[in-house]
Each structure stands twice: as structure tokens, then as C-alpha cells.
Structure 1
Amino acid sequence: MSNIATTDGWDDRALLDLVTIKSGQVDPREGAFRELPLIAPDHLQSRTGRLIKKETAAAQGAISGKYLVRPGDVIYSKIRPYLQKAYKCDFVALCSADMYPLTPRPGVDSSFILHSLLSRDFTNFVVSVSARSGIPKVNREELAEYRLRVPSEAEQRAIGQELDAVDDLIATLERLIAKKQAIKQGMMQQLLTGRTRLPGFDAAWHSAKLGSITTVTMGQSPAGYTYNSDGRGLPLIQGKADIRDRVTFDRIWTTEPTKTCKEGDVLLTVRAPVGYTAIVSKPSCLGRGVCAISTPRDNSFLFQALVYAESAWSLYEQGSTFTAVNSNEVRSFAIQWPSDASERAAIAAALDDADSVLRTLQDRLTKARTVKTGMMQQLLTGRMRLPVEVAP
């Protein structure tokens, strides 16, 4: 049974008092059903209540019985409940036998049910009961054990609408980020190859090896592996695990650095995954698996050029289990290099501006997701109440 906080005006109800589980299956090969969308667990995104793929039963070659679901029904994946896969249908469809097709009873709001199924409380419950048998699956008897506090239909609807609105905001931000990322990729393809020139620049470009235009410092394990957890010394960078969003972050500290890099240097991973690039956020110790690349004034351009060229490092990989590149291979790696320093700076500024827009949107997305989590915890437990109109 779930942990239920006392909430004035909310009823203690069993989940299966609020919804019915559809019975009876249809043949997806029949003409009336074969062109309907068929929803299976792998068509749903984890934790979001979002459909990510829509295919007909015929396209999937379905032959076994399926459940018919209608607008307003909520489907929930009974397998691997820790993945939190649920969806509120707004069209007629079929659903896999690996999912529960739930029809809200009169007076029960579909969105309220959806968000309740995606809540932390319900997920903790189904994960715990599915663990009894050691099989990651929740059966009907276990589902029948779950109880929750339920407000009036009007308040259910208000809660569902508020959470749906945050979901819409999150989806909008995700689409906008994807669009801006595509624009940034297009800018890189044009500006970092010389196919498109910024106004006022016409000087020649040439292919330049990193060793001829930069200083390359290969990482090395600190002497004696003297690590500290109290923040003394320098943070140690050892690979992609020490990078977040293309910027290094503190993980391990050492007081005996062997090789170092300074803030603003460009970092390159030289062990699998090879070629991942970041900006050094503060003076650090370079461990094995990375190298620092720097120029007197072109680090911004260098960073953008190496991000664009990331996939090209696959040519240097030998296909062994332990993939790495050495200092000679790093120094011989070539990028397109404008001969005019002002053009390099202008290109870097344009791409940095695009990155700044993306960071702002990513911050908004992170905040929206955090807000959604908090709202679910407050609204679905009644700790926060929404004003609703009372019918005369």
C-alpha cells in the first residue's frame, strides 16, 4: 500500500475503483483494426507520458490479440515499471498485451490518472511489489493493492490541466532546442569550412595541422596518485567522465600534478571516446586520457573547429578494445584555418552566440523539469491545492 498523507476533502480510493481494465482482445489483422496505430511499451518515452513513435498494426506485422483503446483511455506498461511508461490516448488505437488499457470511470479525469501513474509514489509502489517475485512486471492483483487520495472531479481536472501545461512547455522547449541545435550545426558546416564567408572577409584558408598552430600537452597520471577530496590542489581531468556540457567540472583533486592546463584551454579526449572536446573551466591537472590544446588568442575558434571535426577522429581509431590516439596523431590532425585572425575571431563569436542561446534554453528546460517534479509531489498529494469553481 502506498504512503498516503491526510488531505481534507480528498477520498481514500483504490486505483481500480477509479479505472476499469479493458478485457477482450481484437485481431489486429482484421480490416477494422489493421490500419489503427498500435502502441507498445517501446513506443513510449520514459517518465514523460509522451508517445515517440506511431505505427499501424499492419506496419508492425501484428498477428496476436490486442486491446482496443479510445480517446481518454490511459495505457500503462506492465513490464519494467521502473521505466514509468504511460500514455493518455486522444485517438482510437490498439495497445499491446504488455500494457494495461485503463478506462477512467465517470467522475475521474484522464490527465489526473496519467500523472498519478507517473508519480513517484505510484512508481515506488509498483517497483516494490514487482520485486516480490523477482520479475520486473506488475500484475492485476498487485495493481489492485494501490490506493491514493482523490479530490473532486473539478480539482482532478485542474490538477491534470496544470501538469499538462508544464508538459507542453517542456515539449516546446525540447523542440526549440532541437531546432537551435540544427541551426548551429548548419552554421558550423558553412562557417568552419569556408563555404559561407562572413561579410568583409576574403583572405585565403588553408588546412593546418594542430601541431603547427597550437601547443599540445598530453595528460599523464599525477606522481604517486596523491588525490584529495577536500578541494586542495588542482582538479584532475581524466576523460569524458570529468566533462559536463562541454565544460570540465570538479571530480578528483591532486596536490602533485604532473601535467597541467589553464582556464580556457581546449580539452581533447585521447582515449575512448576519442575526440570529445571541452573548454577547461579552471586550472587543472591533466590525467591520462586527455590532452590540452591551446593557442595565444584563438582557443574559441579552435574549440568550435574541433567540435565540428569530432567524428573525424574515428579515422584514427584502430578498432581495438582499448581505443586511443597518441601525441603524434593529435599533432598531425588537420583543421581548416582562416589566415585572417579577425575572421577566426568573428566566426568564433557567431558560434559562441549560438551556444549561449542553447545554454539559456537548456537552463530553462532543466528548470521546467524541476518545477514539474515539484508540482507533481505537491498537487498529487494535496499539499498544494488549486482553486476550482464550485457548481451552483
Structure 2
Amino acid sequence: MGALQNFNKEWCKTTLGKVSTIKNGATPNTQIPRFWNGTIPWCTPTDITRTPGKYLTVTERYITEAGLQSCGASLLPRGSILLCSRATIGEVKIAASEICTNQGFKSLVVPTGTSNEFLYYLLSTLKSQMLGRAAGSTFLEIGKRDLESIAISMPREDEQRAIAEALSDVDGLLAALEALIAKKRAIKQAVMQQLLTGKSRLPGFSGEWERKQLGSALTVRHGRSQRYITGPDGKYPILASGGEIGRTDVSLYDKPSVLIGRKGTIDDPQYVSSPFWTVDTLFYTEIADGMSVKFLYYKFCMIPWRSYNEASGVPSLNSRTIENIEVNLPKSDEQHAIAAVLSDMDAEITALEGRRDKTHAFKQGMMQQLLTGRVRLVQPTYTTEDIVC
């Protein structure tokens, strides 16, 4: 059997400028058509921030060879690290192919003998240092010399690759969880479209749904100012259209309710099952006897609230408008059955989100330990006897 031992070689103290060649980007003249719509990917910070994962494969815009030659941009080799040096300072991706960037980058060309994936992960822990060295009156930017001088510690290449592989495995798990969450959300949305409209019925239910105004199922109530009731250690949440904004020991309403924005965010219903206080920009509802609060919440989620906007500036809703909206409603028992199905789906999604968040926190801890050498990975060593066996 192979013996196991930790990597134990000393890490080398160096700087970013000594382990890579840092290149600037540039923009060809946008008024000259022959410089654009070519085959050379041209990367902007937006391409970086909207791309999941660590590799950049597609950019929004492409330039021609003439465009590249016309400006000071460098054609970066595949595997280069694209580092945003303006605005979103410290955001990084690895180039999946030859690429050039605009002037919002300081890209790192990594030599043979250095793992670009290790350097990618290491750079993602250095954002605070980069921001501390950034300067500028219009917008912050870190200069090439300041970036080159950032001190780092590097292990040997074999340990670099082992660390990068370990972190990549966690990234793979995170990506799989994100994909599963997206799939579950899509399935739930499809189920809502079927169950909340009566197009599909749960086993044991039949009969026509009744067309009613929401006002027959609930009464819309106004929130109130929180000015005199706020307390840092209060038992109940103070809710606004964007979520919790404080705590209080006084509740405005103590029964389950569906909340909807009166002004501002008017298309993000909330379900609350315990006592709460709402401010004057957030409606709450008193639900009629026999109605399922959770079913009505899911119904609210299907209503195109922005089509009921009554203001030309800040989006706004009127309580009477809400109560006059007509919807199809099943009997109480079917409402509760539908709400139970959708609640179970929500619980599954919430559990997956919790697992994703814990995995992300675990990864951050791994990075702090592995990328500083505080914790060393185990490497296998083999004897001649192992190979013969």
C-alpha cells in the first residue's frame, strides 16, 4: 500500500509580478466598423461578472485583427487570468481561449511551472489588498506596479495543482447544487402554473372553481410608521417591501398573512406566519375564514403586479385595486391541498439552498487554510513494492 504524508516543502515568498507577466488591455476606436465584429474575443468587466464558474468562454463583443493592432491591447494566451482592475476590482476568470480585454483589466500571463487555477483561487482572496492599493478620483483603479508588488507565498507546482484540484472539486459540487436548485425552481413554477389555475387537479378533487374578487378572500390593510416602536432586541420583525428592516416588541398583526408592496417593490409577495409589523410602504392582509393563507400567497405570486401599477414614477398599488382583482378559487380543502404540495417543494428548495450555502462557507474556510499553507494536503508516495503489486 502507498504511504500517505503531507506536502512539506517550504513555500516561496514572492510577488504577483514575479510569478506572472501582467498585461494591460485597450479598446479599439468604436467609430471604425472594420475594427469590430471579428473573431477575436474582447472582454469587458461585464463579461466577467455575468459568467458563472472560473473559465470565460464567450464574450459579448469581438474585434478584428486590425482592431487589435490599432490599440494597445495584448492578445492573451489561453489560460491567462483576466483580472478586473477598475470598478469591480479583483473579479477574476481564466481565459478558455486566446482573448484580449479592454482597459479595465490587468491580466496575468502565467508561465510554465505555475498552476493558473491555483493563482486564480489565490487572487480571489486578495481583493481587499487590491482595493487598499487602488486610487482614482472618478473611479478606483489598481495600477500595474501596485498589483505586481503584492506579496504572496507559493508552494511547489505539484502542491499548487493539488490545492487547485481540491478547490475545483468543491466548485463542482457547488455548480451541481446550483443546477439542481434551478431545476427544482423550474419544476415548482410549472406545477404552480398547473395547480393554481385548475388546469391540473390533485387526486380526489373535481368541480368548477369560482370566479371571485380577491376582496372576498381577504382585506388589504395599511402598514404604519415604525418610528416609535423600534427596538434592537425586539421579538418581532419590522417588514418593508424589501424585507426585514428592524425589530420591535409590538406587533401590528399576529396572524398568518400575505404581504405585498404598496410602493417601490410591488411584485414580490411575502408570506408571514408569525406576529409582525409592516411599515407604510407594505400592505398586509387579513384572511377570511375558510381560506388558505398559503394558497393565497402562491396566488399572489402568479399575479402580474406591475400591470396594476398606478404611478408614473415610483411603482405603487392601491388597496382597492388589489381587492378588485378577479381570480379563480377552489373550495377550502383543495386550497389547503395545493398549498401543501407547493410548501413541500419550497421546503426541498430551501434545504438545497442551505446545503449550497454551507458548502460555500466550507469552501471559503478551505481557501483560507490551503492558500496560506496553514493546512497542508496529503500526498501519496509509492515504493517499488507498491508498483510491483
Establish whether TM, by shorter chain, passes 0.5: yes
What displacement does 1:141 show?
A: 1.0
2-structure distance, mates of 1:26, 1:271: 42
- Distance change >3 Å, CA 50–CA 209, structure 1 → 2: farther
Other-structure match for 1:298 = 292
Provide closer, same or farther for how the CA distance between residues 382 and 281 of structure 1 changes in structure 2, counting only shifts above 3 A. Answer: farther
Change in Cα spacing, 1:54 to 1:179, as seen in structure 2 (3 Å) is farther
Range with bigger deviation, 209-218 or 181-190: 209-218
Q: Which runs of 5+ in 1 are unaligned?
A: 1-6, 243-249
Q: Which residue of 2 aligns with 1:71?
A: 78
Q: Residues 208, 371 of structure 1: CA spacing in aligned structure 2 closer, same or farther, 3 A cutoff?
A: same
Q: TM-score, normalised by structure 2?
A: 0.83
Q: 1:51 to 1:23 in 2, by over 3 A?
A: closer
| SS of residue matched to 1:75 | strand
Q: RMSD value over aligned CA atoms?
A: 3.2
Residues 1-392 of structure 1: matches in 2 within 5 Å? Answer: 9-22=10-23, 34-45=38-49, 49=54, 51=56, 53-55=58-60, 57-58=62-63, 64-65=70-71, 66-82=73-89, 84-119=90-125, 122-131=126-135, 135-221=139-225, 225-231=228-234, 234-242=236-244, 251-255=246-250, 259-262=252-255, 264-293=256-285, 294-296=287-289, 297-309=291-303, 312-338=304-330, 340-389=331-380
| SS of match in other structure, 1:37 | strand
SS in 1 for 2:39: coil
Amino acid at match of 2:175: A
Give the deviation of 1:155 after TM superposition.
Answer: 0.9
Contact 1:45 1:52 in 2 (8 A): no
CA pair 52-345 structure 1, distance change in 2 beyond 3 A:
farther
Supply the distance in 1 between the matched residues of 2:314 and 2:109 (Cα, whole angstroms).
53
1:247 is aligned to none
**1:216-261 superposed Cα distances (whole Å, 9 cap, x missing partner):** 3332336x723322326x443343232xxxxxxx822144x5x423
Secondary structure at 2:161 match in 1: helix
Long gaps (5+) in structure 2: 1-7, 384-389
CA distance in 1, matches of 2:54, 2:283: 42
Report if aligned partners of 1:74, 1:114 keep a CA contact under 8 Å in 2.
yes
- Is the alpha carbon distance of 1:194 and 1:368 closer, same or farther for their aligned partners in structure 2, counting shifts above 3 Å? same
Query: Would you say the 8 A contact 2:215–2:323 is kept in 1?
Result: yes
Counterpart-to-counterpart distance in 2, 1:372 and 1:192: 39
Answer whether contact 1:26 1:68 (CA < 8 A) is retained: no
CA-to-partner distance for each residue in 1:115-173, whole Å, 9 max, x for gaps? 11111xx2121111113777411121111211111111111111111112222222222
Partner amino acid for 1:261?
D
Q: Please state whether the residue corresponding to 1:34 is helix, strand or coil.
A: strand
**Shift of residue 106, structure 1, vs aligned partner:** 2.9
Residues 144 and 237 (structure 1), Cα distance of their counterparts in 2 relative to 1, 3 Å cut = closer
TM-fit CA distance, 1:370: 1.1
- Answer yes or no: is the 8 Å Cα contact 2:122–2:371 preserved in 1: yes
Paired with 2:265 and 2:106, the residues of 1 have a C-alpha distance of 41
Q: Which amino acid aligns with 1:227?
A: T
Q: Distance in 2 between matches of 1:195 and 1:308?
A: 14
> How many angstroms apart in 2 are the aligned matches of 1:289 and 1:25?
46
**Separation of aligned partners in 1, 2:345 and 2:184:** 8
Please give the alpha-carbon distance, in whole angstroms, between the structure 2 residues aligned to 1:42 and 1:326: 38
SS of residue paired to 1:353:
helix
Q: Are 2:254 and 2:276, in contact at CA under 8 Å, matched by a contact in 1?
A: yes
CA distance in 1, matches of 2:142, 2:183: 38
Alignment-mate amino acid for residue 56 of structure 2: L
1:32-84 deviations in Å (ceiling 9; x for gaps): x932433222111279645385346159x9665442233322221222253x3
- Maintained 8 Å contact 1:236/1:254: no
CA distance in 1, matches of 2:280, 2:379: 60
Between the aligned partners of 2:307 and 2:137, the Cα distance in structure 1 is 48
Change (3 A) 1:266 1:173: same
SS of aligned partner of 1:44: helix
Cα distance change, pair 159–179 in 1 and its aligned pair in 2 (3 A): same
% identity of equivalent residues: 29
**Separation in 2, partners of 1:133, 1:344:** 58
When residues 365 and 229 of structure 1 are mapped into structure 2, their CA distance, relative to the original with a 3 A threshold, is same
Conserved 8 A contact 1:227-1:253: yes
Aligned residue pairs total 366
Q: Do the aligned residues in 1 keep the contact of 2:26 with 2:101 (CA within 8 Å)?
A: no
**For 1:186 and 1:62, how far apart are their aligned partners in 2?**
47
Amino acid at match of 1:239: S
